[in-house]
Structure 1
Amino acid sequence: MSKYPNGGKVTTKKSEFRKANETNLLCDDGISQIYLSSELVIHEAVHEGNVFHLYASSSLDYGICPYCGHASSQVHSRYFRTIQDMSILGERVILHLEVRKFFCHNDDCRRKTFAEQPGNEVFRYRRRTCRCERAVARHGITASSGSASRLLAHMGIFISPSTVLRDLHRMRTPGYDDVEEVGVDDWAWRKGVTYGSIIIDYTNGWPIDLLGDRETEGFREWMEQHENVHIVSRDRSTDYSSAIASTERRITEVADKFHLVKNITDRTTKLIAENYADYRLAVRSGEKSPVNTTEATKAPLATDCPSKKPDSREVMFKEVKELQRKGFKPTPIAKKLGIARQTATKYCKMESLPGRNSKLRNEYYKYDAYVEREAASGKPLSVIHQEISQMGFSGSLTPFYDHYKYLSDGHRGYRPKNWKPDPKKEKPQDDRSELLPVKSISSVIDKMLKGKDLDESQKKTFDTLMSLGWFKEMYEAMEGFCKVIKGNKTVELVRWMKRYWKTGIQSLKTFIIGIKKDFQAVRNTIRLNITNGMTEGFVNKLKVVKRSMYGRAGLELLKNKLVLEHILFN
């Protein structure tokens, strides 16, 4: 069915739809209302094959030249555009738009003709309406391209995953030049290998940029492009601090409370690991720990007996080695010879071809009498296999079971009919007190620090630790530091540092020296009560988005997915 005038050919005459529009305004009062703000009028709506076909044209009698801005009413020609729109009642909608080309009579314009661009719903060179493109972008941001394509298909918008990606790559993020308070933290491209940086606008609470590294130079360049920034919340990284200092601007740095508490708890964990022997002595005081030795025995290795009879395997092996000498890799060799790639790889690694594995090589007949006699006495086949392996039998366990399955009653392990289980052996006993690993001890300390309830065993562990002088001093210092950080008096930080400055615990001393070097940022976190928790939350969200893209997300695409979300959904 063709609804186009003259079969869709270019014409300068007025189309049938425009003639109908001038005499019949029925569609204008009904379905045309959905495009009223877009300067479009619907002439006819046809439902065919689960698809709504809407035939439309511009509601204006003139066109505006997009190059010079002059209006023109002289039509040069007409053509049709097929545009996809949002679904109606879950069914696909195709908009057939008649577009006019006008003559431009402005002598200063570099174009003589131009095509009209009515309203704000249809853009140049686009095959989807503006609202349809917004729906595609929203689904592309919240899900992977494949998932977005499938979800859109259920909405009547049929689009490929590659097109979803192209639309996301075409979008550009704002510059956010007026941002004043930011939070910065690193995130892992590949954990332990490559890292990037995420920057959050603390005033509005959304991410504004992603950087491809966490080095000083990258963040310094970003800071130079955003001159209004005067507060930066960061972790304890010296790279971000150096970048801020290199800008030579009065910027308030705020060290994150979470990282400060984590730093001192990590120091406590390290101290416990270094002095774990003291904890063991405190737990096992007055107890004797007997030493049990176990002897490990190695099973004898079975040697293969190569067969001297030539067969097709030797011919194929020679072919593989010949191609390998010519420089072929296993995959091309497998394709050339029509063998499995695994076989070609195995042959390439061999210097000589071993013999075939066969039942004759195992020589079961030598052991039949022994196996039948031992099985009749009630011995399991698994034990018999171990015994004859020491006698020189080279067969594996599963073929051995298959060969002598007539001796079993069908139970698992091929047990003989008169088999009886061995009497249960007594389990070894250990009456000594339990020793907790370092990680479990750290969790007990964390619960105690947060004021959570401990069970009896945890209380006993904590009391044992508090009996050690070095742990008692470290825990009291950690508890005091957490109170200072969560408070609002900066003078308490100085008092805490003076109190433990002459400590003999090296882990605590190292932590205090780090606080001294980063004193202004640590003091600001008490004074301003700003945390990097929002940044950490968006780092977790970034990890989810990155993993949903199956490791194929580039930096720009990842930035668009994270930064543009609040724009498209608000």
Structure 2
Amino acid sequence: MILSSSLPGCTIERVFRHTDHLVVIAHGRRCHGRCPTCGTPSSAVHSRYDRRPADLPSMGQPVTLRLRIRRFYCHHPACRRRTFAEPLPRLIPPRARRTRRLAQAQTRIGLAVGGEAGARLTGHLGMQTSPDTILRLVHRLPLPRANAPRAVGIDDWAIRKGRSYGTLLVDLERRCPIDLLPDRSGATVAAWLRRHPSIQIVARDRSTEYARAATAGAPAALQVADRWHLLLNLRQVLERWLGRVHGRLRQLPPLASGDGRQPGERPRAYRRSAAEIAVSLDSRARRLAAYEDVRRRHLAGETLLAIGRATGLARATVRKYAQAESFPERAIRRPNPSRLDPYLAHLEQRMAEGCENAMALWREIRRQGFAGTHRQVHRFVAERRTARKWLSQPASTSTEAIRPSPIASPKQLAWILVQPLATLQPRAAADLARIRQDPEAARIADLARRFTMLVRACGLGGDRPADPASELDRWLLETRNCGVAALETFAAGLAQDGAAVRAALTTSWSNAQAEGQISRLKMLKRTMYGRASFALLRSRILIAA
């Protein structure tokens, strides 16, 4: 039942159902109206007419109001109006097709899920409207006025990845975004910082553009480099160096303690077919030709950008080939955990007894709980049965003949070097011990571990060094004279940004909140299929916060 109090300023006359919605007939309670131009009250009725705005649903049913609106005379001699409609400001604005409360509900839905998804949702909730209407309601909302921020985080976000980028600014104390800028140029960020003189802390990534912007826009503010980006940059440097020397590290022999395999784990992946090996060798030949072409051009003095344009290779691939000491072979794939692993001992025993029937073996282990298909057992048996006809191949055509024992890829090794020793899996620890046989690798591994321990200790609040700044200075001095160009360049960059790096190690400020808000912004952009305008994204990210 609908009460008269549910329609502010109106009296309900009747409620009835019409096809698939409810109709509420009502009229204004006041006996007079006030002219919106001159403010003169009047009770002289000129005429009446009906307005049919949509309202919030009732009991899951759409509701349409039939408001009987009176038109009054305005008798003020100086007023240009002769008549005016009865106002109902608490219920519905002039000339509106929906009540204020319905518009507010649709606006909140638009802020939460966007236009298209919001239109689908409102249709199910009994307040159907179009996507364009929802977006217009969102655009009409005024942006919130943020309090004067003291600590801000700055990060960039992709409007169109690889083409255009913007800047997100986050209030680190209130933990919410405070503005969205249409680009990531230093001039735009510096101008924004000048308009907010209350800023004392600026947390940012390692971008030199943002560093210059913070210096120009807020010269008195303390700049803080993000600790996560410090570790990321170190891992990227290690990966580039490992890509250059990976061929040398692959020649190092495994230690006698083993390769870190778990008990019962397969020593290698299943043997591939002759067709798969032929495809692999053909791919290697193409990569080798591209490597030799890049090396020849690089030694001739061509720039990496020119080589990339001439060969069509990605810039990262050109850099990897140009800096590599030898052809960077692809890492040998190690076997992932398999459903067959718990049953390997039984299969080996049965094959030693002379049973080479794959289907019979599959039925046996299936009774023991094996949930895989018979194909896995067929591949296992095919490598070990006495007559290997279809898998037999000369050793010279196998990729194993030209590859040394497996070792982790440069990307995996870089990740191993920045992890705490106590958290390493046996296989990762074996790879680390293996590459430490190389003196240069051992030296770099020690430097990398010291830096990561310093950053993590300062970030997690654990066993923080008594003087992190002095420890950083000692590390920079050793690293800038370590003899490895990539690491020396990294240390020089840290020294150039020394104040922000020291602030990262000695204060608790971090740019992590900005990274989290970037993830939220990406989610909002993707829910709108990447077609949202900058103004709409700005409204959603700031108002919904």
TM category (shorter chain) comes to 0.5 to 0.7
1:376-455 residue pairs with structure 2 within 5 A? 423-427=389-393, 428=395, 430=400, 432-446=404-418, 448-449=419-420, 451-455=422-426
Query: Would you say the 8 A contact 2:167–2:181 is kept in 1?
Result: yes
In the alignment, which residue of structure 2 is the partner of 1:100?
70
In the alignment, which residue of structure 2 is the partner of 1:7?
none
Is it true that 1:468 corresponds to 2:438 in the alignment? yes
Residue by residue over 1:370-416, the C-alpha shift from the partner in whole angstroms, topping out at 9 and shown as x without a partner, is xxxxxxxxxxxxxxxxxxxxxxxxxxxxxxxxxxxxxxxxxxxxxxx
How far does residue 39 in structure 1 lie from its aligned partner after superposition? 2.2
In the alignment, which residue of structure 2 is the partner of 1:549?
528
In the alignment, which residue of structure 1 is the partner of 2:126?
156
Tell me the distance in 1 between the aligned counterparts of 2:91 and 2:117.
Answer: 26
1:205-354 residue pairs with structure 2 within 5 A? 205-247=175-217, 249-283=219-253
In the alignment, which residue of structure 2 is the partner of 1:10?
none
Tell me the amino acid that sits aligned with residue 417 of structure 2: I
Per the alignment, do residues 423 and 468 of structure 1 end up closer, same or farther by CA in structure 2, a change over 3 Å counting? Answer: closer
Tell me the distance in 2 between the aligned counterparts of 1:526 and 1:67.
Answer: 64
In the alignment, which residue of structure 2 is the partner of 1:484?
454
Query: Would you say the 8 A contact 1:177–1:225 is kept in 2?
Result: no
How far does residue 462 in structure 1 lie from its aligned partner after superposition? 0.8
Pick from 489, 497, 502 the counterpart of residue 510 of structure 1. Answer: 489
Pick from 523, 539, 542 the counterpart of residue 560 of structure 1. Answer: 539
In the alignment, which residue of structure 2 is the partner of 1:302?
none
Per the alignment, do residues 67 and 506 of structure 1 end up closer, same or farther by CA in structure 2, a change over 3 Å counting? Answer: farther
In the alignment, which residue of structure 2 is the partner of 1:521?
500
Residue by residue over 1:250-306, the C-alpha shift from the partner in whole angstroms, topping out at 9 and shown as x without a partner, is 2222211111111111111111112223212214899xxxxxx98999xxxxxxxxx
In the alignment, which residue of structure 1 is the partner of 2:374?
none
How far does residue 53 in structure 1 lie from its aligned partner after superposition? 0.7
Per the alignment, do residues 84 and 259 of structure 1 end up closer, same or farther by CA in structure 2, a change over 3 Å counting? Answer: same
Pick from 111, 119, 131 the counterpart of residue 101 of structure 2. Answer: 131
Q: Find the residue that maps to 2:24 and give its secondary structure.
A: strand
Tell me the distance in 2 between the aligned counterparts of 1:113 and 1:273.
Answer: 82
Tell me the distance in 1 between the aligned counterparts of 2:61 and 2:389.
Answer: 73
Tell me the distance in 2 between the aligned counterparts of 1:238 and 1:212.
Answer: 19
Q: Find the residue that maps to 1:545 and give its secondary structure.
A: helix
Q: Find the residue that maps to 2:62 and give its secondary structure.
A: strand
Tell me the distance in 1 between the aligned counterparts of 2:222 and 2:75.
Answer: 60
Per the alignment, do residues 517 and 34 of structure 1 end up closer, same or farther by CA in structure 2, a change over 3 Å counting? Answer: same
1:16-165 residue pairs with structure 2 within 5 A? 31-35=3-7, 38-104=8-74, 111-165=81-135
Tell me the amino acid that sits aligned with residue 33 of structure 1: S
Consecutive unaligned residues of structure 2, counting only runs of 5 or more, are 257-276, 283-387, 459-463
Per the alignment, do residues 106 and 238 of structure 1 end up closer, same or farther by CA in structure 2, a change over 3 Å counting? Answer: farther
Query: Would you say the 8 A contact 1:40–1:119 is kept in 2?
Result: no
Tell me the distance in 2 between the aligned counterparts of 1:191 and 1:79.
Answer: 54
How far does residue 71 in structure 1 lie from its aligned partner after superposition? 4.1
Per the alignment, do residues 259 and 170 of structure 1 end up closer, same or farther by CA in structure 2, a change over 3 Å counting? Answer: same
How far does residue 178 in structure 1 lie from its aligned partner after superposition? 2.3
Per the alignment, do residues 76 and 524 of structure 1 end up closer, same or farther by CA in structure 2, a change over 3 Å counting? Answer: farther
Tell me the distance in 1 between the aligned counterparts of 2:105 and 2:434.
Answer: 61
Tell me the distance in 2 between the aligned counterparts of 1:263 and 1:83.
Answer: 59
Tell me the distance in 2 between the aligned counterparts of 1:469 and 1:69.
Answer: 90
Residue by residue over 1:321-350, the C-alpha shift from the partner in whole angstroms, topping out at 9 and shown as x without a partner, is xxxxxxxxxxxxxxxxxxxxxxxxxxxxxx
Query: Would you say the 8 A contact 1:177–1:228 is kept in 2?
Result: no
Residue by residue over 1:462-510, the C-alpha shift from the partner in whole angstroms, topping out at 9 and shown as x without a partner, is 1012222222222222222233334264433333333434322222221
Per the alignment, do residues 285 and 493 of structure 1 end up closer, same or farther by CA in structure 2, a change over 3 Å counting? Answer: closer
Tell me the distance in 2 between the aligned counterparts of 1:512 and 1:109.
Answer: 77
In the alignment, which residue of structure 1 is the partner of 2:375?
none
Tell me the distance in 2 between the aligned counterparts of 1:39 and 1:534.
Answer: 46
Per the alignment, do residues 534 and 34 of structure 1 end up closer, same or farther by CA in structure 2, a change over 3 Å counting? Answer: same
Query: Would you say the 8 A contact 1:283–1:435 is kept in 2?
Result: no
| Cα-Cα RMSD | 3.0
In the alignment, which residue of structure 2 is the partner of 1:500?
479
Tell me the amino acid that sits aligned with residue 152 of structure 1: T
Residue by residue over 1:15-39, the C-alpha shift from the partner in whole angstroms, topping out at 9 and shown as x without a partner, is xxxxxxxxxxxx9xx611223xx32
Question: Mean alpha-carbon deviation: is it higher for 205-214 or for 163-172?
Answer: 163-172
Per the alignment, do residues 172 and 264 of structure 1 end up closer, same or farther by CA in structure 2, a change over 3 Å counting? Answer: same
Is it true that 1:185 corresponds to 2:185 in the alignment? no
Q: Find the residue that maps to 2:149 and give its secondary structure.
A: coil
Q: Find the residue that maps to 1:552 and give its secondary structure.
A: coil
Tell me the amino acid that sits aligned with residue 506 of structure 1: A
Per the alignment, do residues 117 and 466 of structure 1 end up closer, same or farther by CA in structure 2, a change over 3 Å counting? Answer: farther
Query: Would you say the 8 A contact 2:250–2:405 is kept in 1?
Result: no
Identity %: 29
In the alignment, which residue of structure 2 is the partner of 1:309?
none
Per the alignment, do residues 425 and 476 of structure 1 end up closer, same or farther by CA in structure 2, a change over 3 Å counting? Answer: closer
How far does residue 555 in structure 1 lie from its aligned partner after superposition? 0.4
Per the alignment, do residues 496 and 105 of structure 1 end up closer, same or farther by CA in structure 2, a change over 3 Å counting? Answer: farther
Query: Would you say the 8 A contact 2:194–2:218 is kept in 1?
Result: no
Per the alignment, do residues 111 and 527 of structure 1 end up closer, same or farther by CA in structure 2, a change over 3 Å counting? Answer: farther
TM-score if structure 1 supplies the norm length? 0.65
Per the alignment, do residues 44 and 470 of structure 1 end up closer, same or farther by CA in structure 2, a change over 3 Å counting? Answer: same
Consecutive unaligned residues of structure 1, counting only runs of 5 or more, are 1-26, 287-292, 298-421
How far does residue 162 in structure 1 lie from its aligned partner after superposition? 2.1
Tell me the distance in 2 between the aligned counterparts of 1:271 and 1:104.
Answer: 85
